[in-house]
Amino acid sequence: MIKDILKEAQDRMAKAVEHVRLELIKIRTGKATTNLLDGVKVDYYGTPTPLNQVGNISTPDYHTITIQPWDKSIIGLIEKAILMSDLGLNPSNDGNIIRVPIPALNEERRKEIVKLCKKFAEEGKISIRNIRRDENEKLKKTEKEDHISEDERKTAETEIQKLTDRYIKDVDELFVVKEKEILEV
pLDDT band at residue 13, thresholds of 50, 70 and 90? very high
Taking alpha carbons only, the member of 51, 76, 53, 77 closest to residue 65 is 51
What whole-number distance in Å separates Cα of residue 91 and Cα of residue 77?
A: 11
Instruction: List residues bridging with 32 in a β-sheet.
Output: none
pLDDT band at residue 118, thresholds of 50, 70 and 90? very high
Alpha-helical (H) ranges within 45-97 are 75-83
Beta strand pairing status for 41-44 and 92-93? Answer: unpaired
Mutual orientation of helices 2-26 and 107-144 as an angle, nearest 10°? Answer: 170
What whole-number distance in Å separates Cα of residue 133 and Cα of residue 153?
A: 13
What whole-number distance in Å separates Cα of residue 16 and Cα of residue 128?
A: 7
Q: Where do the domains of the chain lie, and which CATH numbers do they carry? A: 2-26+106-184 (1.10.132.20), 34-101 (3.30.1360.40)
Element (H, E) at 31: none
Q: What is the pLDDT of residue 185?
A: 58
Element (H, E) at 91: none
Average pLDDT over the chain reads: 88
Question: What are phi and psi for residue 108, nearest 5 degrees?
Answer: -65, -45
Q: What is the pLDDT of residue 52?
A: 85
Taking alpha carbons only, the member of 174, 165, 141, 160 closest to residue 9 is 160
End-to-end Cα distance, the chain? 49
What whole-number distance in Å separates Cα of residue 42 and Cα of residue 110?
A: 29
Between 30 and 150, whose confidence is greater? 150
Identify whether the C-beta of residue 54 lies closer than 8 Å to the C-beta of residue 44.
Answer: yes
Q: What is the pLDDT of residue 116?
A: 87
